[in-house]
Chain A
Amino acid sequence: MDKLITHSPILIIAIPLLAAFLTLLIGRISEKARNVLVVVSLVFVEFLVIVLARDIYANGIHIYTLGASSPTLTIPEQYMVPVRIILQVDAMSIFMGIIAATVSLAAAIYSLSFMKEETGQDSFYTLLLLLVAGMLGMVFTGDLFNLFVFLEIAAISGAGLAAFRIRFADTAEGGFKYLVISSAAALVVLFSVGIFYAQYNLLNIAALAQVIQYTMLDKVALALLVIAFAMKLGSVPLHMWVPDTYAAAPASITAMLLVSSQICMYALFRTCFSLYGVTLNTATVGWIVIILGMLSMFVGATMAVLQTDVKRLIAYNCICESGYILLAVGVGLAVLGHPEALTTYGIAAMSGGIFHMINHALFEGLLFLAAGVLFYRAGTRNLNEMGGLAHNMKLTSILFLLGALASSGIPPFNGFASKLLIYESVYQFNPILAIIGIIVSIITLAVFVKAFFSAFTGQVLPKYKDVREAPKLMMLSMIILSIIIVFFGLFPGLIVDWLAHPAANALINQAEYINAVVGG
């Protein structure tokens, strides 16, 4: 068991990779064996993530030096800088790992029945596993170039998956947009990695953080990194790809692409907090992040009102919700240099934002999966063409409503808990921001009420008379997500104390992050 925990960071990344290589081979022999392989490997990853999470919350940061003679030998003997690639898993990373593993597992189970009619499923599951590996690799790595490599893995597999249903006209375009945006963002990231390498001859994040001087070049690199990650996470000035790609992808993949954007958000926070830390002008950068968040909230909410396509509607809502996270963590970043403000409301704001991350992934994932059921059974995504679906799809409509209420911050669901925490702490920073947040939340509620009524209530339209409830496996994955949502909604204090607060502390505590690698 000790050995398993020691090696679990690499196993979490390597097992989906291995399974992906095997999927193509096994898929030729038997479809059933392939499905079993996919689900078993994802369940195993989920198990490892939970085991590792328990260890990290108990014992602190986990280090794994690849190719060295011992996992904790980060720096070669009698030398001063790390040479090899180091995986560095702290509370924040494992928090993102939990999100990625859980949503991917639910999405994979959902796909088993959602994609049953499609051809080329071998490629589909291969790409799905590669997307999982890419996301987890981005989260766990402590090396900037390695981050770029996994960013590209996630981008390419995500684009392939978004374009998977080639019989529709819009899918190739959605995938293409995603790929162009991602590869441009990744190349910009690589350019800034080059800038760091030119100055310090280092690629490890912790070792760089120790020596970084915030020269003019570092400022340029920071600006480029913020632009690149903002582009990739779909923050507002650069959000045009989000609805197109999310609407084009299969429902289960959309939920995973959402997590993938969140992981780019994680990369942004990692850059700001762990790489630069207090050396950067925290107030300026914090306000930039806050403004990005406010714009995302506002534009996302107002554009969602105009949508008639249910998946585009949810996609705009995603932009809006990610604005809340940026707002909350931006507040934490803005007060990073002031210990007093940080303890009174900064950490609370960041815990709220981080708690909102997992909530966001869960309820938007649930909404996308429910929208997928609508498309699967009713054959359309247009809300104006739907009506009265609740008569035949009772459970789906309840789950959709649950996700919608959680998203608009109605008690007792999880969205309410995290949004309340965000409002409270942001109010102390700047009351106007909190008030805007509440208004946006009300708009979100209005959007979902409209969507729910037009899709589910009213007379049963004649063409939907024979619509049936969702297949069992799709139902199972949605129920898994909704149980977690309800649980988080009922016991928010527990989750904040156990998961979100340690994660926020891990982001703030830069010294610990650095010490884990270069402290010896």
Chain B
Amino acid sequence: MRKIAMAVSLSVFIAFLVATAFLIRPFGYPPSQMDDYIIENAQSETGTNNVVTAVVFDYRGFDTLGEATILFTAVAGVTMLFRRKRRE
């Protein structure tokens, strides 16, 4: 029973994945309305030559804050899991 459910869900998932791979636009020719703006204006707006850094820290800086928070969360979680049992 469990095996059948697994096989069915797995095959449905793989069907989705393969469908995605075939239906998606050709590799190497992306639509780029949002990214073109960033490539053109990153230097004048943020003053950085590295456009990826401009995206990471300026255009999508909030994501980076979240990412740094996740790392912080993981550190807090790991140290919490291996804390000493009693306080000295």
Contacts and interface: CB of A to CB of B under 8 A. Distances in A.
The 5 tightest CB contacts between A and B, nearest first, are A160-B77, A123-B80, A149-B66, A120-B83, A201-B31
B76 interface: yes
A198 interface: yes
Given A119-B86, A133-B69, A201-B34, A220 B19 contact: yes
Contacts of A17: 65, 69
A127 B76 contact: yes
Contacts of A66: 61-62
A79 interface: yes
A157 B83 contact: no
14 contacts: A67-B58, A67-B61, A84-B60, A85-B62, A119-B86, A146-B63, A160-B76, A160-B77, A164-B80, A167-B85, A201-B30, A215-B23, A217-B19, A220-B16
Contact-residue bracket for chain B? 35 or more
B84 A201 contact: no
A76 B34 CA distance: 10
Nearest to B45: A76
Contacts of B69: 17, 20, 130, 133, 153
Contact of B70 (A67, A123, A146, A152): A152
A127 B73 contact: yes
Nearest to A133: B69
A99 B77 CA distance: 25
Interface residues of A, number: 51
Contacts of A81: 33-34, 37
Contact of B66 (A82, A146, A223): A146
Nearest to B85: A119
B16 to A, nearest CB: 5
Contact of A156 (B19, B20, B77, B81): B77
B76 A198 contact: no
A200 to B, nearest CB: 7
Given A81-B34, A83-B38, A198-B30, A149 B63 contact: yes
Interface centre among B37, B59, B77, B84 (most CB of A within 10 A): B77
A216 interface: yes
Interface string A71-82: 000001001111
A21 B78 CA distance: 16
Contacts of A133: 69
B80 A127 contact: yes
Given A130-B69, A220-B16, A166 B81 contact: yes
Given A198-B25, A216-B19, A119 B76 contact: no
Given A159-B77, A172-B81, 12 more contacts: A24-B76, A66-B61, A76-B37, A79-B37, A119-B83, A123-B79, A127-B77, A145-B60, A153-B69, A156-B77, A201-B33, A220-B16
